[in-house]
Every structure is written in C-alpha cells, then in structure tokens.
Structure 1
Amino acid sequence: MSDFNDVLTPPPAPAGTPGAEERQWAMFAHLSALAGGLVTSAIGGWGFFLGPLIIWLVKKDTMPFVADQAKEALNFNITVSAIFVVLLILTVLSLGIGALLTVPVMLIVGLGALVLIIIAAVKANNGEAYRYPFTLRLVK
C-alpha cells in the first residue's frame, strides 16, 4: 500500500527562489503540453506529454525549478492521456454505445486539464511550485 501512496504523494518543491529565466522555462513546461496537443492533433492529439518531456530532459541538470515543474507537467499529462485511453477502450468495448457516457467525461476531463494547465503556468511564472491534483507521479 505504501507504494501506491508514493505514486500519489507530490514531492516537495525545490528550495530557493527561481530567477526570471527559470520561471519562464517552468511556465513553458506547462504550456508546452497544449502546444504538443495542437501539433499532434492530426494524429489524435496524443503529444501532450512531449513538450514537458523535452523541457525536463534538456533542463533537468541546470535548472531545478524547471525540472520540478516539467516533471509535474509530464506526470499530469501522462495521467490525463491514460484517462483518455481508458475511456476510448470503454467506448470500443461497448461497441460505441458507451460513447454516450465517455464523450461527456472526455470533454469534462479535457476542460479540467486545460484550466489546470493554465493555472499551473501562471503559478510557475510567479515562481510558485504548482502541484496538479489527481496526478499519478510516475516520473520521479
């Protein structure tokens, strides 16, 4: 049971006040999820996690605040993508009848994700470490 709690418990924020460049990169880490979804929209929009992943890989050794926020954005977008995959599978398994339930849930989850990403970007730009709710923290 402790392993599951480790996945759900957010890590502590990095110490220190981030500089302007670091805050800007952290904001980009959150907003890049939206850009990734737009760029890959022709193939289903599954690129939400690509932007945060790239920023995390590039900046993780040089900017601790950016690494923390990019990792948080990455974990959140992996969680949202997993929710969409489960809903898609339910739709297919129900031969499309489940779409009466899954499509509204997808819209609610998508709208909620959009709002949370914008909130996270604003907080990161203000130098505050944001923790998404309901996020599986798979990347540590």
Structure 2
Amino acid sequence: MDEFDTLTPPENTPLKPSQQARQWAMLCHLAAFAGLVVPFGNLLGPLIVWQLEKDIDPFVDAQGKEALNFQISVAIAVMVCFMLMLLVIGFPLLALVSIGALVLSIIGGLKANEGVAYRYPFTWRLVK
C-alpha cells in the first residue's frame, strides 16, 4: 500500500469523483502532450483544461493545479538544462527531465482516471 492510497476514498462513496470528473482530471495531466505540437503547449494545455473545468468538481480543480504546477516545474528545469549545455552536463540532464516528464505525466493521467489524487514528485507548487 503506497502513501497515496489513503487519499482515495473507497468505491461507492459520495466522496469518490464521478467518471466525468476523473476524465477531465486525466485530461488535465495528458494535455501537457500539446507541448509536442505547440510551443509552450505543455503549459497551455493543462492551464486551458483546468480553467474550463475546475468548477465541475474539486477533484478536477486539485488535479488541474497539480498538473499545471508540474509543467511549470518542468519548464524551469528545461531552462536550467539549456543553460547547463554550455558545460555539456545539460544534454543528459535535458534527456532525463524530458523522459521523466513524459513518464510522470502518463502516470498522473492514469491515476487521475482511477480517481486517485496524484501528487507529482520534484514539483514546486506555485499555483495554489
């Protein structure tokens, strides 16, 4: 049992997010993949989905903030990696940050779809 299981209410309780809320929360996490197509899409995707749907359920609001905070943290880490490319260490760090962001975004989306309140590691929570 991991530490986040205690945040998830049992099945068939009124505290369990609805299927619609879980899908919107999942989309908040997975909207970061817009960054593969649109510059700054990794920030704009979660921001737009969160702003449009945050009022339907507190779960969507919380997961939207979490996804946005993670993508802001990733953007800051990528900028630091670009600066460190002058010292060559930035290249492997950029690969590590990119792969980590990809994997953690997928995990966040899957957990949100299960109704689990997922918290990203290594995240500055700037949006409250």
TM-score by length of 2: 0.84
**Preserved CA contact (<8 Å) 1:124 1:130:** yes
**Preserved CA contact (<8 Å) 1:76 1:136:** yes
Q: Which of residues 63, 88, 102 in structure 2 aligns to 1:69? A: 63
- Residues 101-139 of structure 1: per-residue CA shift (max 9 Å, x gap): 101100011101111111111100001010000100000
Structure 2: gaps of 5 or more residues = 1-6, 10-14
Is the counterpart of residue 58 in structure 1 residue 67 in structure 2? no
CA distance in 2, matches of 1:112, 1:31: 14
Q: Which of residues 94, 99, 111 in structure 2 aligns to 1:123? A: 111
**Preserved CA contact (<8 Å) 1:14 1:68:** no
Is the counterpart of residue 85 in structure 1 residue 79 in structure 2? yes
Code of the residue aligned with 1:78 in structure 2: it is I
Is the counterpart of residue 26 in structure 1 residue 25 in structure 2? yes
CA distance in 2, matches of 1:31, 1:139: 18
Structure 1: gaps of 5 or more residues = 1-12
- Residues 38-74 of structure 1: per-residue CA shift (max 9 Å, x gap): 221xxxx432111110111111222211111111000
TM-score by length of 1: 0.78
Code of the residue aligned with 2:127 in structure 1: it is V
CA distance in 2, matches of 1:132, 1:75: 9
Match of 2:92 in 1: 104
CA distance in 2, matches of 1:125, 1:66: 11
**Preserved CA contact (<8 Å) 1:53 1:74:** yes
Is the counterpart of residue 47 in structure 1 residue 46 in structure 2? no
Structure 1 consecutive aligned stretches of length 4 or more whose deviation exceeds 3 Å: none
**Displacement, 1:86?**
1.5
* Amino-acid identity (%): 50
**Preserved CA contact (<8 Å) 2:28 2:45:** yes
Secondary structure of the corresponding residue to residue 103 of structure 1? helix
RMSD: 1.6
CA distance in 2, matches of 1:118, 1:125: 11
